[in-house]
Amino acid sequence: MALKIWLDGKLVDTEEAKISVFDHGLLYGDGVFEGIRVYNGRVFELDAHIKRLYESAKAIRLTIPISQNDISLAAEETVKANNITDGYIRLVVTRGSGTLGLNPFICKNGSIFIIADSIQLYPEELYEKGMRIISATTVRNHPLATPPQAKTMNYLNNILAKIEALDNDVPEAIMYNHEGYVAEASGDNILIVKDGVIYTPPAEAGALPGITRSIVIELAKEENLQVVEKNLTRFDLYVCDEFFLTGTAAEVIGIVEVDGRTIGDGRPGPITNLLRKKFFEYTRKGE
């Protein structure tokens, strides 16, 4: 189906949605982005995503040329123009068109484009049986390099980790930080359960502050589950009772094997299943 893409203030056909080859987003991965779900015609947690977008932009000294309110309206408009009731929004702000030099301040206005489309989820079977995962050797961004908390267009480390996963016939890989602590998966946050307590690495460990993770933590607290943010080691992952990932696309998905070690009894555990169900209901409420 032909899509309408929102590009710098206008809805245009896909074929017209073009970015300059001099755009620093393309030349250097210089820009920021968000991935946002649409459930039942409603854009999920739009404000939280927009806030993270502007914070990511601030961290890399990128001025987004329109206000938070206007970009939110543009996202809503793109969803409506494409009749998306359940889908995914990709919102990208690039540094804009510049020269072949690195200097970002030569770039004119940042370019904004918004794509609203359907979404490819993991197959249902993977949610029921759980996913196998491996540890990547590619290290998550150092805090003194591109900040790992910023969602920038420079995802090459994560892509290298993803390649490691795919080389091992699994869909995801765990990324560790430069100190050897668990950071996150290549495109999802990590949570584990040990003796009834949920543990997850803090943002300082190199995790993107996931919006799904924050909602799942709230839902867990509603169930009187204890949630502790602390540094986790590979050993903690190997010996945990339950393990799951959270993310906009994946939602909540159980992990049943890490680097050849079976987690729990080899099936997604009860807390994982409970939170998956609660998250499902929370996102589809009012349907």
Q: What is the rounded CA–CA span in Å between residue 49 and residue 45? A: 6
Cα gap 112→72, rounded to integer Å: 12
Contacts (Cβ under 8 Å, ≥6 apart) of 245: 131, 172, 185, 188, 189, 190, 191, 252, 253, 255
Q: Report yes or no: 97 and 107 within 8 Å, Cβ to Cβ.
A: yes
Question: Is residue 35 near ligand PMP by the rule CB under 6 A?
Answer: yes
CB of 75 to ligand PMP, least distance (A): 15
Distance, CA of 57 to CA of 77 (rounded, Å):
22
Strand partners, 191: 244
User: Token pair 């079977």 is at which residue?
Assistant: 125
Residue whose CB is less far from ligand PMP, 164 or 188? 188
Reading the block at residue 101, the tokens are 């030099």
Which member of 4, 151, 162, 278 is catalytic?
Answer: 151
Contacts of 157 by beta carbon, 8 Å cutoff, 6+ apart? 138, 139, 140, 141, 175
Q: Is 246 in the site for ligand PMP (CB under 6 A)?
A: yes
Among 17, 112, 153, 208, binds ligand PMP (CB under 6 A): 208
Of the candidates 256, 267, 273, 249, the one whose C-alpha atom is nearest the C-alpha of residue 132 is: 256
CA nearest neighbour of 212 among 92, 39, 58: 39
Name the H helices within 150-269: 156-167, 211-222, 234-238
Q: Please report whether residue 188 would count as binding ligand PMP according to CB under 6 A.
A: yes
Which residue, 248 or 283, has its beta carbon nearer to ligand PMP? 248
Spatial distance between the Cα atoms of 251 and 62, rounded to a whole number of angstroms:
29
> For ligand PMP, which residue of 30, 164, 172, 184 counts as binding (CB under 6 A)?
184
Could you give the string, one character per residue 121-160, with x where binding to ligand PMP holds by CB under 6 A and - elsewhere?
-------------------------------------x--
The nearer residue to ligand PMP, 164 or 184, going by C-beta atoms, is 184
**At its nearest, how many Å lie between ligand PMP and the CB of residue 99?**
30
Q: Which is nearer to ligand PMP, 78 or 152 (CB)?
A: 152
Compare residues 24 and 140 and give the one whose CB is closer to ligand PMP. Answer: 140
CA-based R_g, the chain, Å: 19
Of the ranges 3-11, 62-70, 184-192, 264-272, which one interacts with ligand PMP (CB under 6 A)? 184-192
Between CA 185 and CA 162 the distance in angstroms is: 9
Residue 278 annotated among the catalytic residues of the structure: no
Q: How far is the CB of 155 from ligand PMP (least distance, A)?
A: 7
Q: Does 189 bind ligand PMP (CB under 6 A)?
A: yes
Q: How far is the CB of 219 from ligand PMP (least distance, A)?
A: 13
Closest contact distance (angstroms) between CB of 109 and ligand PMP is: 25
Q: Among residues 87, 110, 171, 210, which is the contact residue for ligand PMP, using CB under 6 A?
A: 210
* Residue 211 binds to ligand PMP (criterion: CB under 6 A): yes
The residue behind tokens 């009749």 is: 83
Q: What is the dihedral of CA 91, 95, 96, 98, to 10 degrees?
A: -160
Q: Does 177 bind ligand PMP (CB under 6 A)?
A: no
Chain residues in the site for ligand PMP (CB under 6 A): 35, 158, 184, 187-189, 208, 210-213, 246-248
Active site residues: 151
